[in-house]
Structure 1
Amino acid sequence: MSAREAIFANVRRSLGVTGSEEPRRFEVEARLAKAPAGVVPKRGQGDDEARIATFKAEAERAAATLAEVATLAEVPGEAARFLRENNAPASLRMGADKRLAAMPWDETSLEVLHGPSDGHDLNALSVAFAAVAETGTIALVSGADNPTTLNFLPDNQIVVVRREDVLADYESVFLRLREAYGKGRAPRTVNFVTGPSRSADIEQTLLLGAHGPRRLHIVIAG
């Protein structure tokens, strides 16, 4: 028996219940089905244009850079421009996301590498599951399509966000996660990223790239 199971067994024993009583199960299921919504800030609310504007403003306030392209096919050109203008190597690591594979990378001079990073990649590109207008945050889920190592190890991270995936708040992101994956099938990791990595732990001096990328470039597509 694990420590968790032992604790629950002690609680049930002290209450004189087994946990299988019909009234108790009904109360729990009703509570889960009708859980009240918490207070949701208004900052990220509004129509599509309002959400995009708020997202861009908040992401830039967190030191991320942004660009907008009309279609996913324009992402390779924007990625090449960003790397070139930041004097970064013309190589880019990405996962197995089918949306990335369908992009015209051969129209650029970039060397495209696939799979998780081993810590030697300077540049990476991922597709966000969603974005949060309220705080300028991107939500990335783990898996072979977009490996989590790409969110932390390279110096420069480029993240593609589709316009329709810019949601108002965190509650909307969690709702979409449940809808997309179903009960008991959530991804192993969900990373919420706001701006490039930074720390001011040492003498209150701001250091970029402390625990992840020094630069975060968000490409809004659509």
Structure 2
Amino acid sequence: MSARDDILSNIRRSLGVSGTEAMRRQTVADRLAASPRGVVPQRGQGEPAAQRALFKQMAEAAQASLSEIASYADVPQAVAEYLRANNLPATLKMGDDPRLTDLAWSATALEVSRGRSHGDDLNAVSHAFAGVAESGTLIMASGPDNPTTLNFLPDNHIVVVAAKDIAGDYESVWTRLREHFGKGLMPRTVNMITGPSRSADIEQTLLLGAHGPRRLHIILVGS
């Protein structure tokens, strides 16, 4: 018996069940099929403009920085300006997301490379699947387009998100994920990122970059 089987066996024994009960199995199947929504906080509800304003407020409260641009054509210049304003090297790692790779990076002085990070990249840019207004959180779906390593290994992470993809609550984003990838199919990893990495474990002193990027900059595209 594997460790997993041993743990599940102990749980079933403590509950006094075998795991084969038809009613219990049907209850689980019905819930998976219906994907019921949980309790949705009121805070993130409202018109799209209000949701975007709340997203910006909550993201900045979590110590992320944010800039707004009109179109994707402005992304390369916005990234270059952010790096220059923070005295950061003009280097950038990105995945294969066509929303980023098809842009005119050659019009900037940035040295752009593609692929996952091996831990030696200072700056990375990714595209978020969505943003959550109620908490200022970015939803990142893993894959070659946006490797998960870019979320955690570079010191400075720039994330592009479309204004139309800002949702009021997490439940709405899970619905979109199921619609986009197909019910029962998900990317290997869905990361929820709220602000730069931080820890206050030692003497309650806040340390940025403890487990990931010390800077998170969000570029909100469109209106």
Same fold per superposition (TM over 0.5): yes
Q: Percent identity?
A: 61
Match for 1:169: what amino acid?
Answer: D
1:151 counterpart = 2:151? yes
Structure 2, gaps ≥5 residues long: none
| Counterpart in the other structure of 2:129 | 129
| Counterpart in the other structure of 1:54 | 54
Q: What are the within-5 Å matches in structure 2 for residues 94-133 of structure 1?
A: 94-133=94-133
| Counterpart in the other structure of 2:79 | 79
| Counterpart in the other structure of 2:70 | 70
| Counterpart in the other structure of 1:44 | 44
CA distance in 2, matches of 1:85, 1:17: 59
Q: How far off its partner does 1:18 sit?
A: 4.4
Q: Deviations over 1:67-101 (max 9, x none)?
A: 11111110000000000000000010000111111
Match for 2:115: what amino acid?
Answer: G
Q: How far off its partner does 1:5 sit?
A: 4.9
Instruction: Give the TM-score taking structure 2 as reference length.
Output: 0.90
Match for 2:148: what amino acid?
Answer: T
Q: How far off its partner does 1:52 sit?
A: 0.3
| Counterpart in the other structure of 1:188 | 188
Q: How far off its partner does 1:31 sit?
A: 3.8
CA distance in 2, matches of 1:209, 1:196: 7
CA distance in 1, matches of 2:206, 2:140: 25
Instruction: Summarize the Cα distance change of 1:156–1:16 in structure 2 as closer, same or farther, 3 Å threshold.
Output: closer
Contact preservation (8 Å) 2:178, 2:184: no
| Counterpart in the other structure of 1:202 | 202
Instruction: Give the TM-score taking structure 1 as reference length.
Output: 0.90
Q: How far off its partner does 1:200 sit?
A: 1.0
Secondary structure at the aligned position of 1:192 is classed as: strand
Q: How far off its partner does 1:30 sit?
A: 3.4
Instruction: Summarize the Cα distance change of 1:109–1:45 in structure 2 as closer, same or farther, 3 Å threshold.
Output: same
Q: How far off its partner does 1:33 sit?
A: 3.8
Q: How far off its partner does 1:15 sit?
A: 5.3
| Counterpart in the other structure of 2:88 | 88
Q: How far off its partner does 1:9 sit?
A: 7.4
Contact preservation (8 Å) 2:19, 2:25: no
Instruction: Summarize the Cα distance change of 1:213–1:18 in structure 2 as closer, same or farther, 3 Å threshold.
Output: closer
CA distance in 1, matches of 2:201, 2:20: 48
CA distance in 2, matches of 1:119, 1:135: 28
Task: Give the length in aligned residue pairs.
Answer: 219
Structure 1, gaps ≥5 residues long: none
Q: Deviations over 1:157-177 (max 9, x none)?
A: 100000111011111111111
